[in-house]
Amino acid sequence: MESPDSKYILVISGKPEGPFSIEDLKARALKPGDFVKTPEMVDYKEAHEIAELRDLFHFKRQITEPQYFAGLDQRLLAGALDLFFVSGVYIVLGFTTILFVPDQENRIIVGVSLIVLIPLTNLIYHVVMECSDRQATYGKQILKIKVCDEEGKRITSGRAIARNFYKFFSGLTLGIGYLISFFNRKQQCLHDMMASTLVVKERLF
C-alpha cells in the first residue's frame, strides 16, 4: 500500500490534471469511477481499482467491463509478428542443421519437421503467454493489446488452451469467424465468443 502522501493525477472533464494529494482528492469528493494514476503507474485506473484509495475512501471494488477493444487489424498484425518470431528461430536452426547434414533424405526430414514444429510451437507460445501475467504474446505487447476474460481479468491456462483451439473453427469458416468482429461491439472473433474472451487495448487520454 502506498503512503497517504501519495500524489495522484486525476482526469477532469477528459483532461489529466494534478498531481493531487489525498487531501486534495477528498476536497474534490473523489468518486469510485474517477480515473486516476500516480506518476509511476503506466495507465489510468478507476479509483475503486486502487487498494489505497479503496481503504482511504471506503470504496467497494466494482467489476468494470473493458471498454477499449483491439481491432482486427491490430490482432492480425500481432499474429504476423508472433509467427515471424517463432518461425524465424526455427528457420535459423533449420538452415544451420542442413549445413551439417549432407544426406538429402535427412535434409527433407528436417524440412518436414519445421512444417510441423512451427505451428505447434506457435500454439504453445500463444497459450503460455496469454495466460501469463502479461496476458499477451510479444506481438500483442508491441501493439499494447492483451487477452482477458469478459470482466477484464487474466485468463486461466485452460481458457487459453480452449481459445487457441477454437481458432480452428474460426479458420474453418473461411475467415468469417474473424470478420464477425466487425459486427459486434466488443470486436470478438468466433473463437473469442466460444471461449468468452476479449482482446483489449490500453486506455488512451
Same domain flag for 79 and 160: yes
Same domain flag for 53 and 145: no
Same domain flag for 150 and 187: yes
Q: SS3 string of the chain?
A: CCCCCCCEEEEECCEEEEEECHHHHHHCCCCCCCEEECCCCCCCEEHHHCHHHHHHHCCCCCCCCCCCECCHHHHHHHHHHHHHHHHHHHHHHHHHHHHCCCCHHHHHHHHHHHHHHHHHHHHHHHHHHHCCCCCCCHHHHHCCEEEEECCCCCCCHHHHHHHHHHHHHHHHCCCHHHHHHHHCCCCCCHHHHHHCEEEEECCCC
Residue 62 covered by a domain: no
Same domain flag for 47 and 13: yes
Residue 44 covered by a domain: yes
What are the cell numbers at 43?
A: 495507465
Residue range(s) defining the domain that contains residue 186: 72-83+117-201
Residue 2 covered by a domain: no
Whether the pTM exceeds 0.75: the reply is: no
Q: Kindly give the confidence (pLDDT) of every residue in the chain, 205 residues in length, as a single tens digit, with 9 standing for 90 and above.
A: 445 567 999 999 889 998 999 999 999 999 998 999 998 887 888 888 888 898 889 888 766 678 789 999 999 999 999 999 999 988 888 778 777 777 777 777 777 888 889 999 999 999 999 999 999 999 999 999 999 998 888 999 999 999 999 999 998 988 899 999 999 999 999 999 999 999 999 765 4
